[in-house]
């Protein structure tokens, strides 16, 4: 996952879900069974291997009953049981939440930015508002004025062609126009910084900012981690 001053993919439900799936797959490859792999998502593979060596068993039930460690506490011991509970509820959502209204799935396509481009230079010609753009791309800093090179833009299918066309027009524009736009953006950022400095609150005063919440996409885990197969592994819920 990319995490730097411009991009934090932990905020992106699509990127973070893919990363979580890759981690679970690697945990399963290392540990050999899903109860341990899923518990390692919370506790870490190194911690699980220490527990296996301590109790001389790779059975999660044995770890819960016999492994004594200050870091292997209530959260780690109950993580797999909580996972099974979520699987059961999601599988039988109509039973548990009969009046729940499910949001329509969000369909987005990715376009890789081969070159940095100013936001307004590509969004305005594509008839995309900055509000919608940042909702679709929560990994980007909401204060960003440029789309970084290499970032995979997420757009609704109906907006892809117009965005790509706007990006191509920007790349084909004379270099002098690029320089002018870049200078204007920097000037705007400097002016905003001056205004922010003048409005800086007194010491000890905290100013909160709003944060967007992105709609997560439904993901499907490998078939081996279904409620039916998971239930074959007996797990005793630990208590504090």
CA angle 115, 2, 182 (to 5 degrees): 30
User: What are the pLDDT tens digits along the chain (240 aa)?
Assistant: 888 888 999 999 999 999 999 999 999 999 999 999 999 999 999 999 999 999 999 999 999 999 999 999 999 999 999 999 999 999 999 999 999 888 888 899 999 998 899 998 999 999 999 999 999 999 999 888 999 988 999 999 999 999 999 988 888 876 655 554 554 445 545 555 555 555 544 433 333 333 333 444 344 444 444 444 444 444 444 544
| Calpha distance 200→9 (Å, rounded) | 29
Query: Would you say how long the chain is, in residues?
Result: 240
- Residue 160's nearest CA partner among 130, 122, 134 is 122
| Calpha distance 214→11 (Å, rounded) | 8
pTM for the model: 0.66
Helices (H), the chain: 13-31, 34-43, 45-55, 60-66, 74-91, 93-96, 119-123, 130-136, 157-172, 175-198, 227-230
| Calpha distance 25→19 (Å, rounded) | 10
| Calpha distance 233→44 (Å, rounded) | 20
């Amino acid at each position: 996952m990319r995490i730097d001053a411009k991009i934090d993919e932990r905020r992106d439900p699509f990127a973070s879900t893919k990363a979580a799936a890759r981690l679970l797959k690697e945990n399963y490859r290392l540990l050999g069974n899903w109860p341990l792999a899923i518990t390692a998502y919370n506790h870490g593979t190194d911690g699980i291997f220490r527990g296996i060596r301590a109790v001389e068993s790779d059975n999660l039930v044995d770890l819960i009953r016999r492994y004594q460690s200050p870091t292997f506490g209530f959260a780690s011991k109950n993580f797999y049981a909580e996972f099974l509970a979520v699987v059961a509820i999601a599988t039988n959502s109509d039973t548990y939440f009969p009046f729940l209204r499910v949001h329509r799935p969000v369909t987005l396509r990715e376009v890789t930015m081969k070159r940095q481009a100013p936001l307004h230079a590509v969004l305005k010609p594509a008839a995309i508002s900055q509000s919608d753009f940042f909702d679709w791309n929560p990994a980007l800093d909401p204060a960003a004025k440029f789309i970084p090179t290499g970032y995979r833009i997420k757009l609704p299918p109906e907006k892809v062609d117009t965005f790509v066309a706007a990006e191509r027009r920007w790349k084909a524009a004379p270099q002098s126009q690029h320089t002018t736009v870049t200078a204007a953006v920097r000037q705007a950022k400097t002016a905003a910084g001056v205004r922010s400095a003048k409005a800086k609150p007194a010491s000890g005063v905290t100013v909160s900012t709003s944060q967007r919440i992105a709609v997560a996409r439904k993901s499907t885990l490998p078939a081996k981690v279904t409620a039916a197969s998971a239930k074959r592994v007996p797990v005793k819920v630990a208590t504090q």
